[in-house]
Copies of this chain bind each other. A is one copy, B any other.
Amino acid sequence: MKVRRSERLIDMTHYLLDHPHELISLTFFAKRYESAKSSISEDLAIIKKTFRERGTGLLDTIPGAAGGVIFVPMISKEEAKEYVVALSERLSEQDRLLPGGYVYLSDLLGEPELLRQVGRIIASKYLGEKIDAVMTVATKGVPIAQAVSYYLNVPFVIVRRDSKITEGSTVSVNYVSGSSERIEKMELSKRSLKRGSRVLVVDDFMKGGGTINGMQGLIEEFEAELVGVTVFAEAKFRGERAVKKYNSLLFVEDVNTQTKTISVVPGNYFDEE
């Protein structure tokens, strides 16, 4: 039974949103809805226009026999900024201050709506890049990695500080923890990353950058390639950071344990390049 345009538009929208960065042929949709390719083309033009106008993302059309469409989720810089400004206010809440000047983030990193937006914002920074995997370190980076992985539609891999029997053989590196200047160890399951993979590194929080630097070392061990680094929040750091190039959504510019105030502003994600 032929499917009506209105129903096609609804289901195609759903399908595209669920399959970002995936080439979908016109034939696939034509079969799915028992409709002519010409009708499908018209549908896609309407979806493309709406996605663009609403800031949902880009719908790239690949012409030819092997062609089709690819949905690339994105967020406009203005919308991203607006969201991150609101987020920086939430992070500045006084009761987030923990002993030692740490900031409590765990509640935020468990909110699906926040993770969706953060995933979309981080993924938007790498629109033109080929990325094969997202890498993070257990435990707090995992939600960020998964959120980004949903929008890039590539797997995420989790580096661990403690070896687990359920990981199989691993490759490990030592790294200098920036905050404590101790030598620590991190490892990644051998089979989790292919040689030559292009890897995006994400994490929840960066101080000295030692952990991120460790992940860069692991990427080298796997003969893979680093595409970029984005952290949810960075803290002010006295001294030289182990990582030179990174993006941060938020910047914790000051934590005062005496006056019990936290000052958070948008990070360098929004700087002009």
Contacts and interface: CB of A to CB of B under 8 A. Distances in A.
Contacts of A165: 98-100, 102
A82 interface: no
Nearest to A140: B166
Question: Which of A47, A138, A153, A157 counts the most B-chain CB atoms under 10 A from its CB?
Answer: A47
A5 interface: yes
Interface string A8-34: 011101100111000000000000000
A158 B146 CA distance: 15
B166 A105 contact: yes
Interface string A149-189: 11001111110100001111000000000000000000001
A46 interface: yes
A191 interface: yes
A111 interface: yes
A149 B116 CA distance: 11
Interface stretch (A49-57, A212-220, A263-271): A49-57
A38 interface: no
Contacts of A110: 149, 155-158, 192
